[in-house]
Amino acid sequence: MPHGIGPSARSRRQVDVTSNAMSPDMTVRDITFDDLDTVVDINQTALEGVGPLDREGLALLVKQADQALVVDDDGDIAGFVITLPPGATYESSRYEWFEKRLDDYVYLDRIVVADTHRRLGVASRLYDEIEGEKPVALEVYETNDASLAFHEQRGFEPVGELEHAGKTNIMFVREPDAA
């Protein structure tokens, strides 16, 4: 049985996503050491929306994460999400932007869905897992129209902008009671 490297052991839960393209026993669980290579590969397919990450960087990120989850589709990783708590030792101008402005929140560092599982509800399921009693903070490149629309539909509100690496990031926060 794989050992988790995230902040806590998580029981396997059924994912409430209806599609004939996905197996009925998809579960959300903590990222394990056995998942690292696959998670890195999935991350690298989405560099237009997230920063690059290698195995060592991912392992460090997961160790300090508030939540580090995957959707497991009968042994295949369908997607993943990593969030950080306030006060993490994470060198990111985007994370630091929120640190200066928010007290108690969850920072969504990255969420990526495998190409084979896009548009099947995997991202929505991961968001359902991380949205709780605290505001969720994240950024989206201003050129990523699909992500901007997705986040606005989920109740995220733009709260500012930040230039990073030659790109404009729209900074979003979703309050716990936003629908």
Distance CA 85, CA 57 (A): 17
- Cβ burial of 163 (10 Å; 0-12, 13-18, 19+) is exposed
83-128 pLDDT tens trace: 999 999 998 999 999 999 999 999 999 999 999 898 888 998 999 9
Question: Is the pLDDT at 13 greater than 50, yes or no?
Answer: no
- The rounded percent of the chain whose pLDDT value lies above 70 is 85
Residue 11 banded pLDDT, cuts 50, 70, 90: very low
Give the fold, CATH level 3, of 13-174: Aminopeptidase (3.40.630)
At 26, the amino acid letter reads M
pLDDT at 24: 62
Cβ count near 30 (within 10 Å): 22
Helix ranges (DSSP H) in 25-144? 36-44, 55-63, 93-99, 122-130
Tell me the pTM. 0.83
Burial of 107 (0-12, 13-18, 19+ CB in 10 A): buried
**For residue 72, what pLDDT band results from cuts at 50, 70 and 90?**
very high
